[in-house]
Amino acid sequence: MVNLDIMLARRKVKSKDLAEGIGITEANLSLLKSGKVKGVRFATLEAICRYLDCQPADLLGYKPGV
């Protein structure tokens, strides 16, 4: 599960600002937030974590069967 919305709210960052800050489109960020992507590049994950000052575990979770 992707907890990007939660981290954005905690950091008071808009999706648009994050997308611009890490160099991806808002559409791709939206797909990532919704969990509709099958993978994410480590470089993208690193950029998000750097921008939001967080760890990958703050953004991604695992629930068996989901």
Structural domain range at position 50: 4-59
Burial of 18 per CB tally in 10 Å (0-12, 13-18, 19+): buried
Report if residue 64 sits inside a domain.
no
Around Cβ 58, how many Cβ atoms within 10 Å? 16
Q: What is the pTM of this model?
A: 0.90
Q: What would the pLDDT profile of 39-62 be if each residue is shown by its tens digit?
A: 999 999 999 999 999 999 999 998
Around Cβ 36, how many Cβ atoms within 10 Å? 9
Q: What is the domain count for the chain?
A: 1
Report if residue 44 sits inside a domain.
yes
Position 9 scores a pLDDT of: 97
Report if residue 27 sits inside a domain.
yes
CATH code at position 16:
1.10.260.40
Q: What would the pLDDT profile of 8-46 be if each residue is shown by its tens digit?
A: 999 999 999 999 999 999 999 999 999 888 899 999 999
